[in-house]
């Protein structure tokens, strides 16, 4: 894993991993490790590695969810995508936006407001 992301982008100390074991659902489960990806090729390599060794992998964006979907129920690795936070393209004519998974709702709202649009996420 270190060869993919570097030492600073991998957490293994339980105290460091604690915050990545819950979301706004109030559920909690401690991951064995947290890895921070910053690019699509890194994500591919991390997923491939975890699959090869049958390691549970829980992806996590900005950690603002309310459903427990980012809680690592089976331990393993949390793949944090919070640093993949770019708004890649807004197409006002087709009313579409392409964003990376770490973009927050507020960041998208702010970017869309320049075009007179807003992002109406479904309540969870």
Q: What pLDDT score was predicted for residue 49?
A: 98
User: What are the pLDDT tens digits along the chain (124 aa)?
Assistant: 999 999 999 999 999 999 999 988 889 999 999 999 999 999 999 999 999 999 999 999 877 788 888 999 888 999 999 999 999 999 999 999 999 999 988 899 999 999 999 888 765 5
Domain ranges in the chain are: 2-80, 85-118
Beta-bridge partner residues of 34: 11, 78
The C-alpha atoms of residue 113 and residue 106 are separated, in whole angstroms, by 10
Pick the CATH number of 2-80 from 1.10.760.10, 3.90.1010.10, 3.40.50.2000, 3.30.43.10: 3.30.43.10
DSSP code for 95: T
Q: Strand runs (DSSP E) across 14-110, as ranges?
A: 33-36, 57-60, 77-80, 87-91, 96-99
> What is residue 120's predicted lDDT score, i.e. its pLDDT?
81
Please check whether residue 91 is in contact with residue 117, taking contact to mean a CB–CB distance below 8 angstroms. no
pTM summary value: 0.87
């Amino acid at each position: 894993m270190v060869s993919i992301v570097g030492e600073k982008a991998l957490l293994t100390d339980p105290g460091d991993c604690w915050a990545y074991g819950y979301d706004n659902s109030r559920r909690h489960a401690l991951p064995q490790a947290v890895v921070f990806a910053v690019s699509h090729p890194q994500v591919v390599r991390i997923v491939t590695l975890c699959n090869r060794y049958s390691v549970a992998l829980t992806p996590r964006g900005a950690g603002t969810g309310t459903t427990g979907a980012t809680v690592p129920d089976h331990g393993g690795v949390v793949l944090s995508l919070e640093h993949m936070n770019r708004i890649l393209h807004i197409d006002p004519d087709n009313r579409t936006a392409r964003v990376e998974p770490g973009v927050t709702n507020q960041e998208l709202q702010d970017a869309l407001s320049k075009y007179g649009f807003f992002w109406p996420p479904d309540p969870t």
